Amino acid sequence: MKKIAIFGGTFDPIHNGHLYIAYEALYKLNLDEIIFMPSGIPPHKTKRKLASPFFRYEMVRIATKNEKRFTVSDYEINKKNISYTFETLQYFANKYPNASLYFVTGADGLMDIENWKNVKEIFKLCNLVVFNRPGNDKYDIIFQKRKLEEKYKGNIIFLDIPLLDISSTNIRNLISQGRNISCFVPEGVYNTIKELKLYD
């Protein structure tokens, strides 16, 4: 059975930390494909203005173009309304009926997942893959994982990998200060940001 992971995020901008997580998931879980999913209108970030969906999609496409097992989907950015994870998973379950689906999210997502819409459906449709982020305690993650698996009869995989303290927020802040961010993002993404002055 084909193993496909969906890696969702605003990717505003995509950075080397995202790619590191994707490669670790690819190899540790023996995945056939990772679909990067730039979010359209995420329910938890409606108050902050995002870079245009087109440019966020293009940056992800540029960042992932050299890995044949990485693809990019425009499903969510083409939606006119809020993007809910369970709807995205339903879409891919219908598109790949014979595949085993995985959904990659950060530890903050795991901690907050019971506030997501139709959480029971999410656990029915996919294996949840969780990576740690700075500020989260590993043992809190493991406790939450066990609690949710028991409650929802789902499968949660904790991707226990070294932390890279890189965030899109910090990158945008550095750009606003006139700092060089070339060490945090792929070269093509850096050139796109610089040429279009995306976060100036």
Digit-coded pLDDT (tens) for 18-43:
999 999 999 999 999 999 999 987 67
Take residue 150 and report the two structure tokens written for it. Answer: 């028991």
CB 45 within 8 A of CB 10: yes
State the residue range of the domain holding 168: 3-196
**So what's the pLDDT on residue 189?**
98
Band of pLDDT at residue 47, cut at 50, 70 and 90: low
Mean pLDDT of 184-192: 97
Contact 123, 152 (CB under 8 A): yes
Q: What is the DSSP letter of 36?
A: E
CATH number of the CATH domain containing 173: 3.40.50.620
pLDDT > 60? residue 46: no
- Mean of the pLDDT values across residues 168-177? 95
Domains contained in the chain, number: 1
Looking at residue 14, its amino acid is: I
* pTM given for the model: 0.94
What pLDDT band is residue 45 in, cutting at 50, 70 and 90?
Answer: low
Among 43-52, 64-73, 156-165, 179-188, the minimum mean pLDDT is found in 43-52
Q: Check residues 68 and 163 and name the one with the higher pLDDT.
A: 68
Contacts of 49 (CB under 8 A, 6+ apart): none
Rounded Cα–Cα distance for residues 28 and 116 (Å): 27
